[in-house]
Amino acid sequence: MDSRQWTRRDLLCASGAVGVGALAGCSGLLEEQSTNRNPSVVENRPDAIYRPSHVEGMEMIGMQEAGGRMVGLMYAYAHRFWTLTGSVTELVQPGGDVHLMASIWDPDSGTVLPADTGLRFELTKGDWSAERAPWTMLSQNMGFHYGDNMALDGEGTYTVTVETGAVGTERVGDFADSFGESATAQFEWEYSEAARSEIPFRTLDDAGDPGALDPMEMDMMPLSFAPSMDELPGQVLGSAEAGDVHFAATVVSGDDGDAIAVSPRTRYNGYVLPAMSLSATLDRDGSTAFDDILTQAVGPDLGYHYRASVDAVESGDELTITTDSGPQVSRHEGYETAFTDVPDVSITAD
């Protein structure tokens, strides 16, 4: 799906016209039901993206516009995931009742937004309440989102408040003056175990093989795809792949002069890879024209990317990108062994 074909009007119409739950199982991949919702972790997992033990759907709770952005709220079965610090992954066993997820995106461009300044969930049901700062996450069928397993207070009607947080990441292009303030979206959610049990789920025969689940085919909600090479703005330098990360690099002009922009994305699905620590050098005729860290930024054309100001990039310059640490986001199954030790890549400007 090309997330960039969205218009604001399409999104708003669609979200208004389609009721809660209409999106369940929209991937089309999910055909059978199973009572075993957490098959064993695949044995002998490769240090790479791999096909997970199972694929499951999710249920859309709702979508709303808040503060100029769209907020989507979804849930799935509570399932295991891995938190990550540096290159250390820690298995989080399934706990609670559901896996609650949110995604925030720009309705005009369909760009999924980082909400690193404190996205929070607050759930209330009568006197019961729970609050959570969910993890930033990456999953094979959804890409970059926010989520966590949560315990609920049984069946019934919940009010779920999503506080988006401000987009603290540097905002460039048409995003420069947007998303600087937090916004709040509130959802009513009728939760029942029966409805949850209808979420499709099936195990995979090729679990453990290199590869990834196909992205969900969502009609309403864009996924966090990085722009294709053809869509990249500026003077595209080229691309290189290492450690299941596909790095695309371009030089863009802005108010502050030129900047190198690096857009890393997952092999297979092309999702943006947030929360990496990247640095780069630019070698020109044996001398170093640039050597510094790249910082995170987001814009409507480049999506989530990493950048640094440079004086100029000349033909023949060799850009070397170093991954000081891979994406520091929690991983759904099939991503937890990937991107932890990414070799340097080099791209030579034409």
Partner 1 sequence: MGRTDRGVSRRDFVKAAVAIGGTSALSACLDREGAPDLDTGPEDLSALPARQHAWNESLSRDEAGNVTAARHHVLLLLEYAGEGTPSEDDRETVEQALRGLERAYPRSNEGLLFTVGYTPAYFDRYDASLPESVDLPRPGALAPFEDPKPDEPDALVHLASDYGQVVLGAEEALLGERETLNDVEVSSFADVFEPTDRRTGFVGAGLPAANQDVDGIPDSEPVDEDAPLFMGFKSGFEKNQASEDRVTIREGPFAEGTTTHLSKIQLHLDQWYNQDSRYQRVGKMFSPAHADEEKVEGVGNNLGTDSGLDGDQDRTLEDARTKGMVGHTQKSARARDENDSPLILRRDFDSTDGGEAGLHFLSLQRTISDFVETREAMNGTDVADQSAVGTRNNNGILQYLTVDRRGNYLMPPRDHRSLPRPDP
Q: Which residues bind partner 1 (CB under 8 A)?
A: 83-88, 90, 92, 95, 116-118, 120, 129-133, 135-136, 148, 151, 165-166, 168, 170, 182, 275-277, 293, 295, 324-328
Decide whether 23 or 275 has the Cβ nearer to partner 1.
275
Distance CA 276, CA 73 (A): 25
- How many degrees, rounded to 5, is the angle at CA 86 between CA 283 and CA 162? 110
Decide whether 161 or 325 has the Cβ nearer to partner 1.
325
Phi then psi for 15, rounded to 5 degrees?
A: -70, -25
Min dist CB 316 to partner 1, Å, is 29
Decide whether 188 or 324 has the Cβ nearer to partner 1.
324
Q: Determine how many CB atoms are found less than 10 A away from the CB of residue 117.
A: 15
Decide whether 135 or 191 has the Cβ nearer to partner 1.
135
Decide whether 124 or 346 has the Cβ nearer to partner 1.
124
Q: Is 161 exposed, middle or buried (0-12, 13-18, 19+ CB in 10 A)?
A: middle
Token couple for 94: 């399934």
Min dist CB 98 to partner 1, Å, is 14
Min dist CB 31 to partner 1, Å, is 32
Token couple for 218: 């969502």
Distance CA 172, CA 130 (A): 35
The residue assigned the tokens 């957490």 is 38
Q: Determine how many CB atoms are found less than 10 A away from the CB of residue 42.
A: 19
Distance CA 153, CA 80 (A): 20
Instruction: Name the strand (E) or helix (H) holding 10.
Output: helix 8-17
Min dist CB 230 to partner 1, Å, is 28
The residue assigned the tokens 């930033």 is 136
Min dist CB 217 to partner 1, Å, is 29
Q: Are 158 and 123 in contact (CB under 8 A)?
A: yes
What is the edge-to-edge ordering of all strands in the sheet holding 156-163?
Answer: 128-132, 120-125, 156-163, 184-191
Min dist CB 315 to partner 1, Å, is 30
Decide whether 48 or 92 has the Cβ nearer to partner 1.
92
Of the candidates 237, 240, 232, the residue with the CA atom closest to the CA atom of residue 344: 240
Decide whether 168 or 254 has the Cβ nearer to partner 1.
168
Distance CA 237, CA 234 (A): 9
Of the candidates 151, 91, 63, the residue with the CA atom closest to the CA atom of residue 333: 91
Min dist CB 261 to partner 1, Å, is 17
Q: Are 313 and 237 in contact (CB under 8 A)?
A: yes
Decide whether 18 or 166 has the Cβ nearer to partner 1.
166
Min dist CB 330 to partner 1, Å, is 9
Min dist CB 132 to partner 1, Å, is 7
Decide whether 3 or 330 has the Cβ nearer to partner 1.
330
